[in-house]
Amino acid sequence: MRVHNYLVVFAFFLPCFSLTAQDSIGLPDIQAAEKLFDLHFTPVKEDSILSGAIDHLHFYQYLHEHDLYNSVPLSLVFDPLLPGTPYDRRQLPLHWNIPPAVTLPTNRDDLAFYSIPELASLIRRKKISSVELTTFFLNRLKRFGPVLHCVIELREDSALVEAREADKDLARGIYKSPLQGIPYGIKDLFAIAGTHTTWGTPPFKDQVIRQDAYVAQQLAYAGAVCIAKLSLGELAMDDVWFGGQTRNPWNRALGSGGSSAGSAAATAAGLVPFAIGTETYGSIVDPSQRCGATGLRPTFGSVARTGCMALCWSSDKVGPICRSAEDAAIVFAYIHGGDSIDASSRTMPFNYTGRVELSRLRVAYTRNYIDTLPEDSPEKQTLAILRRLGVKLIPVDFPDDLHGNEILSLIIGVEAAAAFDKLTRTNADDEMVQQNKDRWPNTFRTARFVPAVEYVNACRMRTAIMQRVDPWIRQYDIIIAPTEIGDQLAITNLTGHPSVTLPVGYRPGGLPGSISFIGQLYGEAQLLAFAKAFQDATPYNKEHPKGF
């Protein structure tokens, strides 16, 4: 009865839109649409559908007269927690190990690869000022940014103002965090007042958003100094933007991967101590593994996305790209949390100690991905190192029959097409650099032909995947998987589980080899402690590309 009354009201309300477009839909259009959507109706049913389709067209035209800016969110909210899942919400005090006896290097360029605790020690003990450190990294960005095509906009004047404030606070004995006075870069889909926020594509090249994104605010509270907006593949796809292709510092003939292209390349090359990236489907994992960085993709909703370009409301995530798990832990500690604007965000505890008893953890490795790899592959070498460290590895088959890629791709395509509706309808997408069949302009157009019913059912299939995968993952503390083999990357993005991608050796040609450690929902503390234990026993994250 309620549905019937609603339809009556809807039909009565339509004339109020005062639309002048002609009713141009006929039965042949209905019959053609059936072929597109795998539907089969009788002629009588097709005739009944026609008037409703015309009404819908009028309503679409009404919607098109009211532009929704990218910052207007969905009324639906994705939650990675299944109903009834218990979680401890107690936040304990955090203690950071800032080494006392750090000295400046003889070769000043070596400073580019110091860890966050080492830089914090130098600053706190007045061996270098924030202004000096900021100037040092600004000069590196000026020198190597054009080589890697990784910088969209430098914040030189603003950064030096922030650095001077950090030095004043430190002189007064005001200690905010280990990040105080330390420069960083941020992916240019985050708004920062006083800068352009280009989203990496010509249609938005001159865009100015007069606010600071949540993550930038949190880092400002911690005393960090934002020195650059870093490149991203346009509208968060791949590594090509209006300034060219962001290059891999290990081999500049290759791209850095995307879409957090500049964040990974600049961090790996020592142009910034750390950077902020985002992931919807591999955008932290992919460039981190290609550039040999340590990238944390946190649990969905762990960091509020306010002031961040929306691509897919139910899958966008914010995380740090660093050179070590310890650095990632420090950054995550000061950016994680929810706010009152991003309804998907949640403040959960991050009780990081950096310590873990490896022999007591239940650590699984994905044998259906790893067992068939060569014995000298970085993945198998990683398992050998972990066994020597006392880890008891449990062979498991990652659930790989769930069509995760197809489901996630459909959901992202539809939500992204909605987020950039006007771009498609005005043909402004013609200005975008990438016009290949598998790039955003065509993806947005294709998504217009996904019925709402199929999108909703894809989301329901997502829930079914969560119901199957989350209890399976909860059996283990850590799951080890290749970064991009099989369907785990899609599935864990669908379920919202965190992962850390880190360098674990080298592949033929000298490129970094990387692996992903997958953790429990909101289990970033244990996940990063496990990664730290591996990195403490290996040299890979401490090495860096030549020429920088």
In whole angstroms, what is the distance from residue 496 CA to residue 493 CA? 5
pLDDT at res. 308: 98
* Among 279, 281, 283, 312, CA closest to 298: 279
Q: Does the pLDDT of residue 164 top 50, yes or no?
A: yes
Q: Report the amino acid identity of residue 86.
A: P
Residue 19 has pLDDT above 80, yes or no: no
Round to whole Å and give the CA distance between 521 and 78. 14
* Alpha-carbon distance values, 269 to 112, 138, 153, 428, 465 (Å): 8, 13, 18, 35, 38
Q: pLDDT digit string (tens) for 384-431?
A: 999 999 999 999 999 999 999 999 999 999 999 999 999 999 999 999
Q: Does the structure show a pLDDT above 90 at 327? A: yes
pLDDT band at 23 (very low <50, low <70, confident <90, very high): low
For residue 479 the two structure tokens come to 């799951």
Taking only the tens place, the pLDDT of each residue in 231-255 is: 999 999 999 999 999 999 999 999 9
Tokens read off for 177? 């965090």
Q: What is the pLDDT of residue 367?
A: 98
pLDDT score for 75: 87
What per-residue confidence (pLDDT) applies to 209?
Answer: 96
At 475 the pLDDT is: 97
- 9 pLDDT band (50/70/90 cuts)? very low
Give me the percent of the chain exceeding a pLDDT of 90: 88
Q: Domains in the chain, ordered, with CATH?
A: 1-66 (no CATH), 134-348+360-400+462-542 (3.90.1300.10)
pTM for the complete prediction? 0.93
Question: What integer is the mean pLDDT of 34-39?
Answer: 90
Residue listed under structure tokens 């450690």: 517
Per the rule left: phi > 0, alpha: psi between -120 and 50, beta: everything else, 390 is left
Length of the chain: 548
Per-residue pLDDT tens digits for 278-297: 999 999 999 999 999 999 99
Phi-psi category of 92—alpha, beta or left, where left has phi over 0 and alpha has psi -120 to 50?
beta
- Give dist(CA 386, CA 154) in Å, integer: 41
The answer on pLDDT for 59 being more than 70 is: yes
Quote the percentage of the chain above a pLDDT of 70: 96
Using 50, 70 and 90 to split pLDDT, how confident is the model at 120? very high
Mean pLDDT of 505-531: 96
The residue among 16 and 446 whose pLDDT is bigger is 446
CA 406 – CA 59 distance, rounded (Å): 30
Q: Are strands 251-255 and 247-248 parallel, antiparallel or unpaired?
A: antiparallel
Cα atoms in the 13 Å half-sphere on the side-chain side of 407: 27
Q: Which residue has the higher pLDDT, 22 or 494?
A: 494
